[in-house]
Structures are given as structure tokens and as C-alpha cells.
Amino acid sequence: MPEQVALVPFLILAIATLGGGVMVVLSRNVVHAAFWLLEVMMAVAGLFMLLSAGFLALVQVMVYAGAVSVLVLFTVMLTLRRREDAIRSLDLSWSAAGIALAVLVAAAAAIASFTPTLPAAPVVTPGVEAFGRALFTSWALPFEISSVILLVALVGAVWWAGGGEK
Amino acid sequence: MAWVALIPLLPALAFVVMLPMSRRARNAVRWLPAAATIAALGLSVAAFFAVLAVGGEEPVFRASFTLAELGGAPLAVGLRLDAVSAIMLLVVTIVAACVQIYSLDYMRSEDRRGWYFAVLSLFTAAMLLLVLAGDFLLLYMSWEVMGLCSYLLIGFWHEQDAPRSASIKAFLTTRVGDVGFAIGLAAMWASAKSFDFAVVLHGFEWTVPAATVVALGLLFGAMGKSAQVPLHVWLPDAMAGPTPASALIHAATMVAAGVYLVARALPIFHEAAPWVLQLVMAIGVTTALLGALLAVVQHDIKKVLAYSTISQLGYMFIALGAGSEIAALFHLTTHAFFKSLLFLGAGAIIHATHTQDMREMGGLRRSMPWTTTVFVAGALALSGVFPFSGFWSKDDILMVLYTGGHWYALVAALAVAGLTAFYMTRVCVRVFGGSEKAHAHEAHPAMLVPMALLAAITVVVGFTSPAFAGFLGEAKGWPDLGMAAVGTLAALAGIGAGVWVFGLGKVDTAVLKRRLPRVYAAFVNKFYFDTVYGIVFVGAYAHLSGWLARFDVSLIDGAVNGIASAWSKVSSVAWSADVRLIDGAVNGLAGAVTRAGGRMRTLQAGAVQGYQRLAYGALLVLLGASLLVPFVGTTVALAGGAVALLLMGVLVVRGA
Amino acid sequence: MTVGPVPFMALAAILFAIGLFGALSKKSAVMVLMSLELMTNAVNLNLVAVSRFVTPESMAGQFTAAFVMVVAAAEIGLGLALVLALYRKRRTVELDHIDELKG
């Protein structure tokens, strides 16, 4: 576990994240956008590693990079009849851009107002073992509830996606 | 004493168990809510005796659970069992158990009867939680659950138009009141930092302005739920639901929740400016008179009872306005029994004759002797004839008015008493007297037994009057003979007039209608409340959309479309009966609404992205407004936010 | 050279804004869902970063992020199932063609 967050890896991963995010939004091809999304997920997983959250990084790779991206790709393929359908207009909208920019400014203002209250970066960080212990003791109830949520979502997804044949 | 929590929990569990079932399984276990309610009744009796054994003002049982910390103060919900809630528990569980058992037979041929019983059970749970609540927050929560159940039950036959629009109307109208309730609660938290009865009602030093704001908010909520003028319009329409549900919800319990709320919060009303209590009384007087007058001209037996309920709730508000929660709660108790009895009797009659129109009934005393007996007992109680329960509670209210020197209210209350006896005589004569117009058969024993039980209670509960007051901590003797005589005289005068007009046919009502066409029209149109609402609210909407229309030229062509016709449908529902009478002006307005709907449709273009942008934009505007508060003050920030939201709406309408 | 919490927060804010822009402007339902994933990732990043720098011992932010992931996984599964159902019914995933709420 790194005790401090080093600048250089952070910069590399930040550029990868933001660049990928921009490419997701600016890709004309839906399939390309899905792959750029995969790239963002991997970069965020790297950032999690940098933040000493090893377990989350692992989950990020498995859930997002593994499952979600594949799911998105499958959906894209199932809903496109021809190869050319993947290419589409960029759909840029000024009002959407304005709102996103306003949210960004608000967030920046919030960060600026928080900054003085933040403590210096601590050196000690608990590892995966401590995470696991806490997950099954003090966080056990939310953990179980989340498994029920997943089950319900699973049943719902199967119902919606497959229920149309009747 | 933790078992007290089981009282609302048992019916709630019945609902939870029935919720995921299939329709067939739900129909098969329809007895489950009845069993849960009877168990709750047993526990309520135990709770009552527990309170009786201890006596005194202090609650016997208290429990609270802290939800969160807000601004350093704990936000808690809790239960509280004291004398008032013990009595309310008994009233609610007895009536609910009777209605559940009665419904088993009444609803037997309904396809979705399981759902009906489940919702009835949820309603019972919510009402029991409401009376057990130890703070205004929990009270408000269960209040809203009741509103939902009321909506579901009014619209039980949702495949028909009338119940569907009636359920929406009931929900929206009570919601108007609920907004007031919510504002009152917010004001309460802002000043007292607590919702707990013990703190808010007894421990906190209220300033007059704060108490006034809170009291007005609570009063507004109570007016919506208890169908007080001007928010009474939903209750007569609510009769489109199943009759036993009306008996429980729209006669005995939910509509009385407003009275219960004000009775609970009466200490705050005493701290508020004196005109607040006067306002309560004025609303009560207006409602009692208006309800009684309108009950006289209805032909639908359930509508008569509905207006009668409005009128009697007004009676309770009069008592509250005079500052006597005991008289109000006693009338609430007796009214719950005899009015649910009347509704169940009406249900049996409707079941037998397959009509709700009294003009098609008659002579039922021969074919339905038992129903006639219990119904007349209820009618006598409502009319206030000794020794039935209505006499005692009405006398209490009259006495309070007399000792408090509220002369106008006293005269009005006596007039209402006379009118009540008059219209109930009319109902009895029309339904039971005369020759038999339709073949009918006596109700099933499963329906008769609950009615007989309620009738028995109706006869005897009045004699508990001094004990009731003593239980709630006020020494009170037997009624004053003079006031009893005056009250009885009013009731007998009403009955006499009723017999004179309807029984003996000495006055030709058709002639009256011809002689006084304007008066009659006013009655038929329910004093134009629905009409005015149609013009003011629907019309204001038309103006607003017309104003927005000036920003938008591109869409004038598509006049009639989905939402436009929906809007005109809504508006035609709003003044259904009145359209013919108000002629051209209204038709013009309906056209305006139709056209205006065409403009407004751009705001509801169905485009998901538009909705998203609108939502995020509104969020940003509100955020900005809240950030501005420290610099420019609350009012300016709010006004600025409102203007910005309006501008945004205009931009979206223009399609930017 | 080390990095404090602020660059992470700024990074998360920018990623969130990019995702929001996509979610608000894209006309394809799949693209909107992908943009939503960008937004949840930004939120998670923020949670983990603040947790790392402010309350490293309790790891509350990490747990919250884990539960956000659960909800996001459920959401994307349901969302894509909806897109499929929609496609079967309407033969399109374009949001501006889906306007049945239109009055």
C-alpha cells in the first residue's frame, strides 16, 4: 500500500479518465463510445488503487469493466440492425452544455469552500482485511439489503427484457 | 406495555401478508384483516383498562425512536397511550371490526374483494397509528397513509369514470389541506425544535405569532381531511366508493382525524391569537349549516349521509372553536358509531334495492324489518332524540356554547339540530314509509350482526357522558334539563316538520321548487362551490397558459390533441352538473382551456431529455437561490428563484 | 511529489460534468445510460478520495462507494433491459422518438 499519493501516476490516470470521458461523449460510433467507457472504468480503478482502496479497484474492474461494458456492448449489438446504425450524430446541445457547466462551477465553488477545512493527508491506511471485517460486522445489514436489491433488479431485468414474447 | 405497538401492527401485518398474494389467494384469506382487527380490538380494550386503572392526565405508555439528528435536535417518532388515544382506539377498532365483518358478505360478489379487505386493513392500521402517535410527525405520516387508502377505496371500481374522478378529486382536495399541515409542521419545528406532544403542547413557551402560524397550518390540514368549507367538495363525491368503506373512512374515522388533530393541538390554538379559535368556530358554523341544508335536497341516500357527515363534523369544529375538546371528542365518538351504523344500513338497503335513489325506494319497513329498526335507531341518534347517543353529545356542545356565551353559534347549532332531524325524517319516510316500490329482501345475518352491535352501542353510549368527561380529566354532571329541553325541542320540531312535509304530504315540494327557482338552483348546484372552483382554478390555469402562449407562435395549429381533450374532460368533471346552468360563459371557458392546453403541451412534450434538463435547471436555480439567502434575504432570493424558474419554463416552452 | 484531496475532487467534478452533459444531450438511450455510468464513477471517485484523506480509519466512503456500485449495477441492468424491451416494441432506442407522455 502506498502511504502517500504520488503525483505522476495521478496525472497519468487523471488524463486517461478525463480524455476517455470526453471521448465517450464525443464519439460518433456507439461501439467506440462503449470501449472508451471501458477505458474510463479501468482508469478509475487505477485511481482507486492510488487511493489505497484495493478491494474497490478489484470490484471496479470486475463489475464495470467486466460486466457493465459487456452488457452495454451486447445491448448495442442487439439494438442495431446494420453496421451503419452505430454511426450517429453527435447530439450536442447548448442548454445541456450550459447546465453541465453550471453544475461544474457550483461543484468548483463547493470544493473551494471545503479546501481550508481539509486535514493533511494521513499516512496510515487500513487494508483489504480491515475492509472485509467491517463489511461483515458493522455494515452487514446494508450489505444484505444490497444483495436483495441486486436480486430484485435481476428478476426485473429478466422480466422486462424477456417478457415481451408472450 | 410494549404490546400497545401491536394494535396498529396487526392490521398492518395483515396488509403486508396479503400484498404479494395473487388475486385468488387474496380473496381466499379475506377474513385475515377481520381477524387482525378483532385482535386489535381485544388489545385496545386491554389498553383502555390499563389507562383506566392508572387514571390521570399522564400517558400510560410512551416509546420513541430517534430517526435522525437535525440541527442538533433529535428528530423522533413515538407512540403515546393516554386517555384520548385509549378512547379513540376503542372507537376505531370497534367500527373497523364491524365494517370488516359486514363487508365479508357485502363484497362477496366482487372480483377484487381481497384487495378491498387488504386496503381496509392498511387503513385501519394507519388510523390506529394516528391515534397512538405521540408526536405530530408520526401523526402526519399515518395521516398521509390514510389519504392513500381513501384514494384507493374511493376508486375501487376504477374501471368506471365516476369513482375514478372522485378518487382524484378527493386526493387533490385533501392534499391542498395537507400542504397547510406540512407548513404548520415546518413552522412547529422552526420554533419548538420538536414534534413531541409533551414538548410542543405542554413544555414549550409559544410566542403568539408562532403559535398562530402553526395553528393555522394545522387547522388547514384538518379542514381538508374533515371536509370543512371550503374544502368539503370531495366528500360527497367520495361516496362513489364501496358503502362499507364509506362507513369506516368517510363517516367514522378518517374524516374525524381532522377533529382529532385540532383537539390534540388545542393548547397551541389557545396560545395563538384569539381570532384563530373564532375562525375555527366560524368554519364549523358555516359547514354545519351548509351541510345540513344540502342534505335536505339530495335524492341519493349516500349523498344525504355524506352531507350529514360534513354537517356533523362542522358541529365538532364548533365545539373545538368554543375551546372544548371533550365535547368535540364525545360527539366524534357517538357520531362514529351512529353514522357508521347509518352507512351500513344504507349499504344494506342499496344491496337489497340495487339503487341509491330514494325516489325509487319505499315501503322497506315490511321487507327489511331489522334493517329498518337499526337504521331508525341511528337516525334518531343523529337527530338528537333522548336517549340515543346523539342527544347527549349534541347537548354537551350546546351547553359549551351556552356557558361560553357564543350566542350566534348556539342559534346556528340549534338550527342545524332541527335541520338534521328534518332531513333524517325525510330519509326514513322516503325509504321505509309508503308503498313498496321495489322488491327487497332482508340483509344477510353477517351484515345484520355488526349493524345490531353498532345500534346497541348507539343506544347506550350516550349514558357514559359524565364518565367520558371524567376519563378525560374533567368533572361533569348529567345534562342541564333546560338545555336538554331546548335541544329536544329543536329535534322534535325537525321531525314534526319532516313528517308534515314528507310523511303527510301537506306541502307540495314541487310547488316550492317552482316558486323559488333561484333558491332551488342554488341548492341543486351545491351553492356553486364546484362551479367557482372550476372557474377560479381551471380558469386561472387557462390564463396562465394563455400568457405563456404569447411566447410561442409555432404551435397554434395543433389545437385539439390528447392533453387538451383531457383538460376539457377534467374541467367538465369539475362542473359536471353545472354546465347546463351556467351556459355560454362556461362553454367559452372550456374552449379556452382546450386551446390553452395546446400551448401547455410543449411543456409536457414527452421528451425525456427536456424533463431532465428542466429538473437539473430547477435544481441549479434553487441551489443558487439558497446561496443568495445570506446576501439578499429570504424574500428576494425566493422571488428571484421563482422568476428564474418561470423564465426557464418559458425557454423550454419555446423549445430552446 | 504528492497529491492531496483537492485534485481528486476537481477530477471527479469534471468527470461528473462530462457525464451530465452526455446524459442531458444524447438522444440514444444507450448513450444516456453510458453517461450515467460516468456520473456514478465520478461520485464514487469523490467518495473514495474524501474517505482516504479525511476518515481513513472508518473507510465509510469506501463502503458507500461499494453500495453505489451495487445500485449502479442494478440500474444499468434494468436500464438496458428497458432499452431492449423498448427496442422490441418501438424498433428504436432514440429518446426523441419516444414521447408517449406527449399531450
Judge whether A135 lies within some domain. no
Chains that touch C (3 or more CB pairs under 8 A): A, B
Q: Are B246 and B155 in contact (CB under 8 A)?
A: no
Say if strands B73-81 and B61-70 run parallel, antiparallel, or are unpaired. Answer: antiparallel
Q: What is the pLDDT of residues B510-524, one digit of tens each?
A: 777 777 777 777 777
- Rounded-to-integer distance, Cα B539 and Cα B518, Å: 25
| pLDDT > 90: percent of chain A | 17
Hey, where are the domains in chain C? 5-97
CB B174 within 8 A of CB B232: no
E-strand ranges in B430-505 read none
Residue A38 scores a pLDDT above 80: yes
Of B613, B620, B651, the CB nearest to A96: B613
Q: Is residue A9 part of a domain?
A: yes
Tell me which of B524-528, B582-586, C21-25 is least confident.
Answer: B582-586
In a domain, A111, yes or no: no
For residues A99 and C24, is the Cβ–Cβ distance under 8 A? yes
Q: What pLDDT score does B103 carry? A: 92
Closest CA in chain A for residue C63 = A135
Give the dihedral of Cα atoms B455, B459, B460, B466; nearest 10 deg. 130
Residue A79 domain-assigned? yes
Q: Is residue A20 part of a domain?
A: yes
User: Nearest-CA residue of chain B relative to C26?
Assistant: B609
- Lowest mean pLDDT: which of A7-11, A83-87, A140-144, B348-352? A83-87
C-alpha cell of B53? Answer: 386503572
Q: Which of B307-311, B418-422, B644-648 has the lowest mean pLDDT?
A: B644-648
Sign of CA dihedral B280, B281, B286, B287: positive
φ/ψ of residue B78, rounded to 5: -160, 165
Contacts of C53 in chain A (CB under 8 A): 118-119, 121-122
- Out of C5, C44, C93, whose CB is closest to A118? C5
- pLDDT (tens digit, 9 = 90+) per residue, A55-106? 889 989 988 888 888 888 888 888 777 767 777 777 777 778 888 888 898 8
B620 touches chain A (CB under 8 A): yes
CA atoms within 13 A on the CB side of B29: 17
Note if the bond before B33 is cis, omega within 30 degrees: no
Ranges A121-130, A137-146, B5-14, B266-275: which has the least confidence: A121-130
Q: Kindly report, residue by residue over A112-139, the tens digit of the pLDDT.
A: 887 777 666 666 667 788 888 888 888 8
Domain C5-97: state its class: mainly alpha
Q: Chain A: give the shortest CA distance to residue C94, in Å.
A: 11
* pLDDT tens-place string over residues B153-183: 999 988 888 888 888 888 888 888 898 999 8
Asked whether residue B333 carries a pLDDT value surpassing 80, the answer given is: yes
Nearest chain B residue to C99 by CA distance is B606
For residue A91, which residues of chain C lie inside 8 Å, CB to CB? 25-28, 31
B112 φ, ψ to 5°? Answer: -105, 35
pLDDT in tens, A16-34: 999 999 999 988 888 889 8
What's chain A's length in residues? 166
pLDDT band at residue B552 using 50, 70 and 90 as cut-offs: very low
Q: Are C95 and C31 in contact (CB under 8 A)?
A: no
Instruction: Give a yes or no: residue A125 inside a domain.
Output: no
- pLDDT tens digit string along B405-422? 889 999 999 999 999 999
A93, A96, A102 member nearest B620 (Cβ): A102
* Other chains touching A, judged by 3 or more CB pairs under 8 Å: B, C
Q: Is residue A117 part of a domain?
A: no
Taking CB atoms and an 8 Å cut-off, how many pairs form between chains A and C?
Answer: 230
* B100-136 pLDDT per residue, tens: 999 998 988 888 889 999 999 999 999 999 999 989 9
The rounded distance, in Å, linking the Cα atoms of B533 and B528 is 8
* A-interface mutation test, from C2, C6, C16, C21, most A Cβ less than 10 A away: C21
B29 to chain C, minimum CA–CA distance in Å?
A: 34
Neighbouring-strand partners of residue B65: B77
**Cβ–Cβ gap A103/B617 under 8 Å:** no
Q: What percent of chain B has pLDDT over 90?
A: 36
Interface touch A88/C28, C-beta < 8 Å: yes
In a domain, A120, yes or no: no
Restricting to A residues 72-101, those with a Cβ less than 8 Å away from any Cβ of B are 93, 95-96, 99
Identify the CA nearest to B623 among candidates A106, A98, A101, C42: A106
* Mean pLDDT score of chain B: 83
What pLDDT, on the 0 to 100 scale, is given for residue A7?
85
> Which of these, B221, B333, B212, lies nearest to B278 by C-alpha position?
B212
User: CA-CA distance, B150 to B312, in Å (whole number)?
Assistant: 20
Domain that holds residue A14: 1-100+146-166
More confident site: B83 or B531 = B83
DSSP string, chain A: --SS-BHHHHHHHHHHHHHHHHHHHH-SBHHHHHHHHHHHHHHHHHHHHHTT-HHHHHHIIIIIIIIIHHHHHHHHHHH-SSGGGGB------HHHHHHHHHHHHHHHHHHHHHGGGPPPPPS----HHHHHHHHHTTTHHHHHHHHHHHHHHHHHHHHHHHGGG-
pLDDT of B602 higher than 80? no
The total domain count for chain A is 1
Residue in chain C nearest B598 by alpha carbon: C103
Q: What's the pLDDT at A122?
A: 64
B neighbour chains, 3+ CB pairs within 8 Å: A, C
Model pLDDT, residue B581: 45
Q: What does the pLDDT read at residue B538?
A: 64
Query: Where is pLDDT greater, at B570 or A92?
Result: A92
Q: Is the pLDDT of residue B550 over 70?
A: no
CB contact under 8 A, B601 and C101: no
Closest residue of chain C to A114, computed from CA coordinates? C6
CB of B600 less than 8 A from some CB of C: yes
Encode pLDDT of B55-108 as tens digits.
Answer: 766 788 888 888 777 777 888 888 999 889 999 999 999 999 999 999 998 988
Q: Which residue of C has its CA nearest to B597?
A: C103
pTM of structure: 0.68
What are the grid coordinates assigned to B160, written together? Answer: 368506471
Q: Is B66 helix (H, G, I), strand (E, B) or coil?
A: strand
Binary contact (C103, B607; C-beta < 8 A):
no
DSSP string, B360-398: G---HHHH-HHHHHHHHHHHHHHHT-TTSHHHHHHHHHH
Residue C103 has pLDDT above 50, yes or no: no
Number of A:B CB contacts under 8 A? 15
Q: Are B225 and B165 in contact (CB under 8 A)?
A: no
pLDDT over 90 (residue C85):
no
Query: Could you write out the DSSP letters of every residue in C16-75?
Result: HHHHHHHHHH--BHHHHHHHHHHHHHHHHHHHHHHHHHH-TTT-HHHHHHHHHHHHHHHH
Cell of A85: 446504425
Select from C38, C94, C96 the residue whose CB has the most chain A CBs within 10 Å, as the one to mutate to test that interface: C38
Q: What is the pLDDT of residues B447-497, one digit of tens each?
A: 899 999 999 999 888 888 888 888 887 777 787 888 888 888 889 999 988
Q: How far apart are CA B493 and CA B502, in angstroms?
A: 14
Q: How confident is the model at residue B559 (pLDDT cuts 50, 70, 90)?
A: very low
Provide mean pLDDT across the span B612-618: 79
Which residues of chain C make contact with B570, given a CB cutoff of 8 A?
none
The pLDDT-based confidence of B151 (bands split at 50, 70, 90) is very high
Grid-cell match 452495454, residue found: A72
CATH number of the domain where residue A44 is located: 1.20.120.1200
Total residues found in chain B within this entry: 656
Contact check, Cβ <8 Å, C99/B563: no
Residue B602 DSSP class: G
* Residue C13 contacts residue A108 (beta carbons within 8 Å): yes
Residues whose CB falls within 8 Å of the CB of residue B640, separated by 6 or more in sequence, listed in order: B625, B628, B632
